[in-house]
Amino acid sequence: MKRFLGFVRKEFIHIFRDYRTLFILFGIPVAEILIFGFAISMDIKNAGVAFLDLSHDEITHKLSDKIISSGFFRKTEDLLSYNDIDKVLKKGHTKAVIIFEEDFGRNLIREGKASLSIIADGSEPNTATLITNYTTAIVNDFNMGLAGTQVSSALKIIPEVKMFYNPNLQSHFMFVPGVITLILILICALMTSVTITREKEFGTMEVLLVSPLRPVQIILGKVTPYFILSFINVLLILALAWFVFGLPVKGSLVLLLAETMLYILMSLSLGILISTVSSTMQQAIFISLIGLLLPTILLSGFIFPIENMPSVYDYVSLIVPPRYFIVIIKNIMIKGTGLMYIWKETLILAAMTTVFIAISIRKFKIRLE
């Protein structure tokens, strides 16, 4: 019994000395609870809406104020014409545009009804549905207030809902870009980190180093096959999206493929970075899967809108690369935008790639020495 207790004590000491094991045991469960508890929200909060007021009367001003003061929406800008609708939705900050017809108040008083149009960004079906439902509910509540204050109870504002980019709110408009983002970062980062870590763990890295190849050439030789295979994977997914789901690439295919290659290169550099801080394949797998899978799903805007989360998660998501690629791929594939709408995200991914490569080369050289 004394030997057994001594063995148990020794195992505890090993665990407490290994900070990676402690992080897996205690840090990850706490992080998952916090992320799942606060990040997963199906409520609308601070969703960006723009107004196209063609009437500019007292009733439209009151209804606009009621929509914004509800706490679910924030005004992004006031539009001047219908030509501005597509432009403001392509920017990504505005999720819906609310349009008041000409002589809105006059039609409501004289004819007893007036039309209000809600044009939502259908590239995010769940968000678009919630926004239209919330807005319709606020308009209906405003109708009840009008009926209670006017002589006639027949006054009614009739909302008309339209969806841009995804009129039928088909779900594959959301999950196809998200799946591409998720698959690329997991395959590239995980496979690259495991491949290089395996060489170090099995002691074969020294054999490679005594060969005529330089360390940089060794790394490039390891990651090049995954770059090619990942690019082929993207082509297959795009082909399936076209032939099976009828999801075309509305923007430039060349631009989409170029952005995809940048994202693949970023993911590969991240995998190399993970391999430099991991001494075993198990550690590389844990860091790649747990460190990338949950943030990609929860904090990239793939499923749950980032603006619905507490502000702290908005700042945390800034270091999550898939957040930027989601914006890029949705803009090109679904909205048909060009580089002028995604240049910021492109620069951020390029900067991340440069930083990951620089850190990886520096740490890799230290390890080789």
The residues spanned by each domain of the chain are 1-38, 47-164, 171-368
**Residue 256: its pLDDT value, please?**
93
Using CB atoms within 10 Å of the CB of residue 204, give its burial: 0 to 12 exposed, 13 to 18 middle, 19+ buried. Answer: exposed
Confidence at 324, pLDDT banded by 50, 70, 90: very high
Highest mean pLDDT among 44-48, 68-72, 252-256, 291-295: 252-256
For residues 271 and 189, give the distance between their C-alpha atoms in angstroms, rounded to a whole number: 4
Report CA 163 to chain centroid distance, whole Å.
20
Residues listed for the chain = 369
For residues 73 and 252, give the distance between their C-alpha atoms in angstroms, rounded to a whole number: 32
Nearest by Cα to 112 from 151, 145, 155, 147: 155
In this prediction, residues 232-259 reach a mean pLDDT of: 85
In this prediction, residues 96-113 reach a mean pLDDT of: 85
Percentage of the chain beyond pLDDT 70 is: 79
**Residue 281: its pLDDT value, please?**
79
Supply the pTM of this predicted model: 0.75
Q: Which CATH architecture has domain 47-164?
A: 3-Layer(aba) Sandwich (3.40)
Residue pair 335/154 in contact (Cβ under 8 Å)? The answer is no
Percentage of the chain beyond pLDDT 90 is: 13
pLDDT in tens, 173-232: 777 788 888 888 887 887 788 777 777 777 666 666 666 666 666 677 777 787 888 888
Residue pair 164/250 in contact (Cβ under 8 Å)? The answer is no
Q: What is the mean pLDDT of the chain?
A: 79
For residues 194 and 189, give the distance between their C-alpha atoms in angstroms, rounded to a whole number: 9
Confidence at 24, pLDDT banded by 50, 70, 90: low
Confidence at 152, pLDDT banded by 50, 70, 90: very low
